[in-house]
Structure 1
Amino acid sequence: MEFPGGGSGGAALGGSSVPAFLTKLWTLVEDPDTDPLICWSPNGTSFHVFDQGRFSKEVLPKFFKHNNMASFVRQLNMYGFRKVVHIEHGGLVKPEKDDTEFQHPFFIRGQEQLLENIKRKVTN
């Protein structure tokens, strides 16, 4: 059976079901092998995606049924993740390298049990 978000359901954590997209995302961010392309921020309250071209070609197809960065970002948005925008000196600062940072209040390093609080937005 296919569920929205890809995969065949969610992994059960603490008796509740967590969508497959979120468990895959957690695995990706936690995996030291993927750190050059996706990793936790130093404080663990957000994660970074570096080099979107390589990330979408090398990492996405291993975990998802596509290699489309826009689809990945759309999924993040559906689950309430927000792009972190750094504003310094009164203007938007463009990172030196291809670095996009995403954050969700319940996606925190070492707090996997919080994943069950992340809900997909319902579209009317």
Structure 2
Amino acid sequence: MEEGSLPRMDGDSNGETLVSYYRSILYEMVDDPSTDSIVSWSENGKSFVVGDEVEFRKALLPSWGLGHLGFSQSEKCEYSCPYFMRGQPDLKPSQDNLRKIETDNKGLDSSSLSCYKKMCRLAKKDLPPSLAIRRQPLFIRDVYEMVDDPSTDSVVSWSENGKSFIVWKESEFLGDVLPSRLPFDYKDMTSLTTWFHAIGYSKVEESEHWEYTADYLVRGQPPHP
């Protein structure tokens, strides 16, 4: 992967997923007081300041990635964007934000998810103890509610042990159930699995079905809002 390349940011549901993932892990780090020497909120809470750029890059992503995700740099190491503010962890980019990100990213590499997956690995790999945060997978509450709905058990349901879920009918799952619950639009399970892996879900390889598991995803234990 060449530096400066990013996966497709096309303003559709998958582009929104990408922005949401980066924003989620960035917010968690900025909001963690134990990492204030590396990155912290500005005084007004509408931007964040990088105090140790070397450690910040190791833990999260290079500064070029922030620009491609809609952040502007107001000072040497201070960044802001309309959907990133202290005290609002669930704030999401508007469609105008996503369209601007799409425009700003025209011409970047869109051939694969290699950069996306690398950034996900960078967010979790070889971090100093102060940065080793156990993160919930993205959309964990939405996935839980989708799997826990008894009306769609013939299409997707909990596994017997309640620590994973199984897709029983691929076409109905991809065409009806999934898009009604999550901002995903996929035509095949292989592509969906790639994105699931990138945002914190694992395929149960020994299963003969499309079966997935994730931290915090347990039957009878709905995630907190």
**Normalising by the residue count of structure 1, what TM-score does the alignment of the two structures yield?**
0.60
Identity %: 29
Aligned to 1:36: 154
Residue 46 (structure 1) aligned with residue 164 (structure 2): yes
Q: What displacement does 1:27 show?
A: 0.7
Q: Which amino acid aligns with 1:37?
A: V
Partner Cα distance (1:19, 1:41) in 2? 19
User: Is contact 2:156–2:169 with CA below 8 Å preserved after alignment?
Assistant: no
Instruction: Name 1:15's counterpart in structure 2.
Output: none
**Paired residue for 1:81?**
201
Q: Secondary structure at the match of 2:171?
A: helix
1:72-97 deviations in Å (ceiling 9; x for gaps): 433421232211122xxxxxx7x3xx
Q: Does 1:101 align with 2:211?
A: yes
TM-score, with normalisation over the residues of structure 2? Answer: 0.36
3-state SS of 1:112 partner: coil
In structure 2, the partner of 1:120 is none
Distance 1:49 1:106, change over 3 A: same
**Counterpart contact for 2:202–2:212, Cα < 8 Å:** yes
Counting matched residue pairs gives 96
Quick check: which one's strand share is greater? 1
Q: Which segments of 5 or more consecutive residues in structure 1 lack a partner in the other structure?
A: 11-17, 87-92, 117-124
Query: Structure 2: which 5+ residue stretches go unaligned?
Result: 1-15, 22-82, 84-88, 91-135
Larger Rg: 2
Alignment of 1:1-124 (within 5 A): 4=20, 10=90, 21-68=139-186, 69-70=189-190, 72-86=192-206, 95=208, 99-113=209-223
What is the deviation of 1:35?
0.8
Question: What is the rounded CA distance, in whole Å, between the counterparts of 1:102 and 1:78 in structure 2?
Answer: 13
C-alpha separation between the residues in 1 aligned to 2:183 and 2:164?
24
Question: What's the RMSD between the two structures over aligned residues?
Answer: 3.1
Greater per-residue helix proportion? 2
Query: What amino acid maps onto 1:51 in structure 2?
Result: K
**Separation in 1 of the partners of 2:162 and 2:219?**
5
Structure 1 stretch displaced more, 61-70 or 101-110: 61-70
| Distance 1:19-1:106 versus aligned 2 partners, 3 A rule | closer
How far, CA to CA, are the matches of 1:71 and 1:4 in structure 2?
18
Question: For residues 81 and 65 of structure 1, do their structure 2 counterparts lie closer, same or farther at Cα, with a shift above 3 Å needed?
Answer: closer
Matched position secondary structure for 1:4: helix
After superposition, the Cα gap between the structure-2 partners of 1:21 and 1:103, relative to the gap in structure 1 and judged at 3 Å, is same
Q: 2:161 and 2:137 mapped to 1: Cα distance?
A: 25
